Structure formats: structure tokens, C-alpha cells
Structure 1
């Protein structure tokens, strides 16, 4: 199969890191609980930028494969995809030809990922897609980022209509979807960005207030003197002591979902730093929770809203690259040019 192989981690520019190999071995099913998928599009994630740079991952990044933790990246990166089932294990609910999406998290860490014509995926991390006329690139910009935002806001933080949510790092793909979903739920959204050039885009998504990182705390205190009900922390846990916890309303929740700063831990942390009656949690899809959390149902509902024009592709899909140009896609994303998802299409 054709694959974008990570041949030189850490090389510059990013395009020098990858070699397009048209004879890379096609993967096979490790067991009958896995599926083999023909990849049509793969969404880019910050974790893949770190892998390309040769940065050592943290054990939580391996998700359900934490027991297989290793510090080196796989030959093929790519943690999410949309595509068509090529082969389904007998212990899965899939059949050949099913359209699906995969949130493999560890793929790109524990095993080869989705920057290739084919990828393997454990069935509990693969979800059926409804019939739709949406393009593969639109679907690739929707599923995993949307679900991460949805799970963070409504599973972890239990956000409800009328609440106020601060999206810290709102121009990321998860941040864009969090803004769209929170507004659709009837919430007040405060979005943040480091770049003034991105303010108008965040406002066009429906954000009620857009704050620049400069003097963020002072502006936030004026906007919400009693604090906000939910803080979705996409920048990193190292900002919690200075930003999130001091600005959380009584009985509010801060959900750590992203690590744009590459810092996975708070220095000198103690639970005593959490103000009374506040909550702090981390969101990731837990093994065995897929059906309980209704992943496929939510995906179907949101795809329906995209088809109906409630959510528009131009709001959450920033730019598409071909697999051969995956290095350019990495450079574009690493330069923080995107507002929303960057997607690589696979022929």
C-alpha cells in the first residue's frame, strides 16, 4: 500500500520527515476483534506533530493501549480517520463496505496509524457512519474533534443550557467544535486565542466574547466576576493554577482535554489547590464506554446538522492536503495558521 512513512523524525522542514512509500506492507488483523479500513481521509492532531518532531509521548496518550507504552513513534502516524471497512473480524459488528470512522488514539503510537491507504483499528474504537452526501474531507474534519468536544462539555462537565463556558484554545479543531456545540446548546461562550487575526473567525462561529491571551485573566474577571461554569482547557494543565481554577464558578468544572503547551503535568500540584465546590477532570473516551456515551448516535445527529446547514464545513474544516503533502500539512498546522481542522485525503 501507499503510506507516508516517518523516515526522519525531527528533520526540518516537516516535509523532510516523511517518505512516500508505495510498497509499504498492508496491515493485517491482529485478532478477530479488529477491522481493516480503507482510509479516505485523516484528520491531523497535535499529538502527531509531537510524534513527527520525535518528542517523547506521555503514557496517557496511549489510551487503551497504555500497557504498550513506548517512547518512539511508529513508522506511520495518524490517530483518526474516516473510510470504508475492507475486512472485519468475526467478533465485530462490522461488515465489508461499511462506512466508518476510527478514534485510534494509540494509533500513531502503539501501532501504525492512518497516514496510509489502509489502517487497522480495534472495533471498540471504530464507529459506523450514517448514510450521507457529505464529502470524506468534511467527515474527516467532523468526527473525532466533534466527539472530543462533545464528551468534554456534556459528559465530563455536564454543561447545560444557560451555562457559561470558557474555551481556552478555541481556534484548535476541538475548540471550534466546542464553540459550535456549546452555542447550539444555548450556552454563553467565551473563546480565547493568541492571535488577533483569528478573533473575527471565532465570532463568526457564534462566540459571545473573544479574548486575547494578553491580560486574559483581567478581562475574564470583568466578564464573569463570579466565574464561569465550565472551562475547557485545551492549552495544557500547566495553566490551571493561574487561569482555570481562579476563574471557575461555584460548582463549576474545568476539563483538561488538550496539551498544546506539551506539558502534561502541573508542577507542585496538590488537591488543596482546587477551590472548594469546584471540580477538575480529564476527558478521554474510556474503554467500554462507547455505547453508554452514545458515540454513533451523536455522530449521526451532528452529521445531520451539517447536512442541514446548522453547522457549515467552512466553520470547522480549515484546509485539505493530499497524503503526498502531509509534511506541508504539518508545517501549516505547526505555524498555527489553522482555525479548525486540517485534513489529509488519501486516494
Structure 2
């Protein structure tokens, strides 16, 4: 269950240096990663009155953030200057390391700043990153999210959090802006990332299963829109089917999450299973289909297009039988 929302205010708990950029009673946030999810998340923080300094390597992302009223920086060190919190919504753990250490963001933030890693990353590597951050005197929260682009836009994300309890309580004001459900998993960073891996296991398997089912209907010559309506309203329904099913029937749907994201995420799931000595055969098979779709050239397509891997397996077989 989501935990209680009673907590100390962040601006009261942090020992920070005064800054002319900081509004009254509000911490300054460095938000790293202004992509399809990061941009609306940073924008929600802005609208809630937080001082937000955005960083991304994409000029278009920086422009979009500036257009929304934020202060955009093409340099991570500048974006981190005088910040109380560094929120990372980057692609992977390597980008987190680069931003914090190679680009100097951590060293340029306030001496007691909090690093909040919100990306989906391997649990073991999250633990190592947390150790490197805390060894330098800063605080760290492992806080991956679920809900996709829609959840980011609606501020209805589910946020899984692990780390020092006091740091978590200090950060609730920020997390409540971004998510409708906040779950505290424990004191050890990496625990929330394990929970996210469990979530992604189910998402990936459900999505691959939905693609397989609709490809069967398509191959058998059924009207796939009707079949989708049937299964979406029956015991076969799942959140992933209802969200992605209609896009599977489109030739080139809008990309809300790419095939290659699930290639990465299911790879993390399998690594977590290996670490826990847990056999994950369904996750492994689903991973192979996302890899196949990516290998066919659909890596940047919407993840619903994993269905192309199934189509590729049977392409031309009907014609060969005639």
C-alpha cells in the first residue's frame, strides 16, 4: 500500500546555501533528461512552484523546456549549480554516471543535495551508484516510475522508492507532484529497482502475449478490430492489451515507448532474475521477440510494434502453400 503522506518539508530539512535563483520556501531542482516523460515531469514541478533547472543533450528538448517556462542548460554542471535536488530521468545508468561525475553535476550541487534516480536501471548498478553518491556526502533515492508517457503527462505515475527513510520523507513534496501512488520499498537502494523489474516483467510478457494473440487473429483472416474488442472486454484483458492493442493494428503509430526500451528493460529483468537465482522463462521469450523486432529495424518504433516480429515469422508461408 502507498505509505502515509506525513513528512518534513524538503526546504526545512535540507542544509543549503542561499541562492538568488531559489524562490521563497522552495528548493532548487536540477532535472536531467527532458524526453517524452522527463519534460512533462519537469513541467509539473515548475507549475507547482519549484525552481527547476533542466538539462538534456537534445537542443529540441531544451527548447521545449524553455518554452514551458523553465530554465534550460546545455551544460550539466551549470544546470546543477546551487541545486538542492538532482532528479535523473535519463536513458540508462551510464548516462546517470556521466551526468553526476564526468560532467560534474554532483560536485556543483549543494553539499547535502539529494540525488533521485527515476530511470529504470539494473538493481545492482543502482546500489553501486548510491554508494558512490553517499560516499561524497550526498543523499540518494532509488525511485523508478511506472505509468509511461500518459502517467507523466497526467502526473499519475506510480513511484517506487528505496533509500534512507528520512531522505524519502524529505522528498515527498516532490514525488507527490509527479505521482498519484508512492510506494516505499525499504532502506537499501536497488530494492525499488527490483520492484520496477517485476513490473516490467509483467508488462513485457503481457505485451508480447497480446501481439501473439492479435497476430494469430490477423493470420487467420479475422477482423482484428473486432477480435481486439472481444478480448479487451473479456477475461483475457490486461492493461497492456487495452493500452497497446489498438496501436498494434496501426501501420506506424505514435511512439510513446519504443521497442528498444523493452529490449533494455527486459534485459534488466533477466539480470535481476540471475542475481536472485530466479528462473524467468517467459521474460526470456518475450525479450527475444523484442530483440527480433529491433533486429528487423523496428527498434525506434512504438513498442506495440513487437507484433512485427510475429508477422515476420510467418511472412510468405500462406503463399508458399498455394
Q: TM-score range by the shorter chain?
A: 0.3 to 0.5
Give the alignment's TM-score, normalised by structure 2: 0.36
Q: Return the structure number with greater relative CO, CA threshold 8 A, min gap 6.
A: 1
Q: Which has the higher helix share?
A: 2
Give the alignment's TM-score, normalised by structure 1: 0.34
Q: Which has the higher strand share?
A: 1
